[in-house]
Amino acid sequence: MNGVALGMMAGPRFWLAGVVLAPAMSLLPDITHMTFQRTFAPKLFQIYQVRRRLSAGRQGRKWELRCRAHREQRCVHGHEGAGLRT
C-alpha cells in the first residue's frame, strides 16, 4: 500500500476526474434546474429582465440606424457616428 496515493496523483485520470469532472457533475443539476425553471416557470423579476433586455436591444438598434445617417457630423444622440471623419 506504500505509494498508492502518489501513483494515483501522478496519472492524468486522477486530475481529470478530481479537478474537472467532479465540479462539473456537481453543478449540472443546479444549472439544469435553473434553466428549466427560467424557461418553463419564470418568476416575475425574470420576466422583467427579459422584457428590459428586449426593449434595450430594440432601442440600441434604433440608435444605431439613426446614427448611420449622421456619419459625417456629430450625432444628435450624444455620441459619435460610426464613420466620423476628423
Q: Are 34 and 46 in contact (CB under 8 A)?
A: no
pLDDT in tens, the chain (86 residues): 788 888 888 888 888 888 888 899 999 999 999 999 999 999 999 888 888 888 776 665 555 555 555 555 555 555 554 444 44
What global pTM score does this model have?
0.49
Distances (CA, A) of 24 to 12, 15, 17, 51: 17, 13, 10, 31
Burial 34-64 (b: 16+ CB within 10 A, else e): eeeeeeeeeeeeeeeeeeeeeeeeeeeeeee
